[in-house]
Amino acid sequence: MGNVLFLPVIEHVDLSSSLEDLREHHGFQICSTVLDSTAQPLSTHKFPDRTVLVMGNEYDGVSPDVQKVTSARLTIPMLNGTDSLNVAVSSGIFLHHYRSQHQGP
């Protein structure tokens, strides 16, 4: 309880250039979540410590401009013709996957 208070959330006017700066000058891997059969399945991705996870809204997803600056395009493979998850649910799955790889102190 309260762990959400330790999660940095940042708003920017020009997200693409801010992500480029984080990647180029601060060593972050930029990961975008996408609904695309060519994307890497989440279960096979190893998150580095310094990761930015970009989630789009449920209708439009992550913009093409932002996808151009990402290092990894990740997806949650689904069965039975399901084509998407609620962004809150998928955020929880992605964040749990990251956290399970980085147990920390």
14-32 pLDDT tens trace: 999 999 999 999 999 999 9
Confidence of residue 83 (pLDDT cuts 50, 70, 90): confident
Residue 49 lies in a domain: yes
Closest CA to 12 of 66, 61, 93, 90: 66
Residue 5 lies in a domain: no
Residue 4 lies in a domain: no
Domain tally, the chain: 1
Residue 27 lies in a domain: yes
**CA–CA distance, 2 with 23 (Å, rounded to integer):** 28
CATH value at residue 87? 3.40.1280.10
Domain span at residue 37 reads: 12-101
E strand intervals along the chain: 29-33, 40-41, 51-54, 72-75
Residue 6 lies in a domain: no
